[in-house]
Amino acid sequence: MTFSVTQSGAPCGAIVEGLDLTKQLECSQVAALRQEWLRSHVLIFPDQALSDDDLERYSLYFGHFGYDPFIAPVDGRDHVIAVERKAEEQAPVFAEVWHSDWSFQEVPPAGTCLYSIKIPPLGGDTEYINQHKALAEMPAELRRKIEGKTAIHSARAGYSPDGYFGDEEQEADRSMRIIVSEEANDTRRHPIIRRHPETGVEGLFGCFGYIIGIEGMSDNESRDLLMEVYNWQTRDEFVYRHQWQENMLVMWDNRSVLHKANGGYDGYDRLLHRTTIAEQIVA
């Protein structure tokens, strides 16, 4: 079974057509898809009527399941979580800030798969930013400021008892199964400029939010530098804005892009199912 790939025309993203992901893929197809994924960073598969079994099988072509620490899975599954918002929901839109999924882990996940089940007629786009391109085009003076520096990552601002999702009144009507935990106060360190584990290409890794400081710098110095980097790495010229349709699978490379959700669909239900792909650790 052959397939076609059409580039989005944006700094990242490609549409893949000609595959039925409800069927078992051949090893050669998976290898070709992996190369397209590494090249384009975000792959879009329209018109795929997937079950959770199909979603899990496809995810496992690219690695083991990753660990999702702060969102409970859907009933009957260990590795599928629901990204859900009800029409009447009042809580803020989930993940409406730039981030790389779970960058605060010791070994952050390689990728994420997100499959659309119910999509509103307006709003709800997901944006992606190419962090290889952002670094390649970064002004030399700013790059010198971050060269060799190590960022401190943590989920505490979001998922700790004192964090954003710890506000019980605000979170009372949220559909998503958020888990608030002291574990969110843990910290991990990763280089700000990091080589992609598979391609070796340098890129920026993570951003202000999950990054709470820079090793060896004061809080004020860290904050100022992180904001300077953030203002550069989130520029419009690095962005692909994805418009969802129902029965669409999107997979992205957390090692090379940031992403964020968008609202704008108040009064409509929205439901997607998500899996996380772990990094392959080579001994």
Q: How far apart are CA 39 and CA 275, in angstroms?
A: 21
> Residue 91 carries which side chain, given as an amino acid letter?
A
- Tell me what the pLDDT averaged over the chain comes to: 97
Q: For the CA atoms of the chain, what is the radius of gyration?
A: 18
pLDDT in tens, 117-151: 999 999 999 999 999 999 999 999 999 999 999 99
pLDDT at 283 over 60: no
Q: How far apart are CA 52 and CA 59, in angstroms?
A: 10
- Two structure tokens written together for 211: 């990054």
Q: How far apart are CA 193 and CA 204, in angstroms?
A: 5
Q: Averaged over 17-34, what is the pLDDT?
A: 98
pLDDT in tens, 193-228: 999 999 999 999 999 999 999 999 999 999 999 999
Of residues 64, 52, 67, the one with CA closest to residue 21: 52
Model pLDDT, residue 170: 83
Model pLDDT, residue 102: 98
Model pLDDT, residue 2: 86
Model pLDDT, residue 77: 98
75 close to 243: Cβ distance less than 8 angstroms: no
Q: How far apart are CA 263 and CA 179, in angstroms?
A: 22
pLDDT in tens, 230-270: 999 999 999 999 999 999 999 999 999 999 999 999 999 99
pLDDT band at 282 (very low <50, low <70, confident <90, very high): low
Pairing, β 239-242 against β 249-253 = unpaired
Q: In the chain, what percentage of residues exceed pLDDT 70?
A: 99
pLDDT in tens, 89-119: 999 999 999 999 999 999 999 999 999 999 9
Q: How far apart are CA 62 and CA 178, in angstroms?
A: 26
pLDDT in tens, 31-85: 999 999 999 999 999 999 999 999 999 999 999 999 999 999 999 999 999 999 9
Model pLDDT, residue 281: 76
pLDDT in tens, 153-202: 999 999 999 999 998 888 888 999 999 999 999 999 999 999 999 999 99
Pairing, β 42-45 against β 14-17 = parallel
pLDDT at 1 over 70: no
Phi (first) and psi of residue 169, to 5 degrees? -65, -45
* pTM, two decimal places: 0.97
Contacts of 160 (CB under 8 A, 6+ apart): 166, 180, 181, 182, 184, 185
Task: Say how many residues make up the chain.
Answer: 283
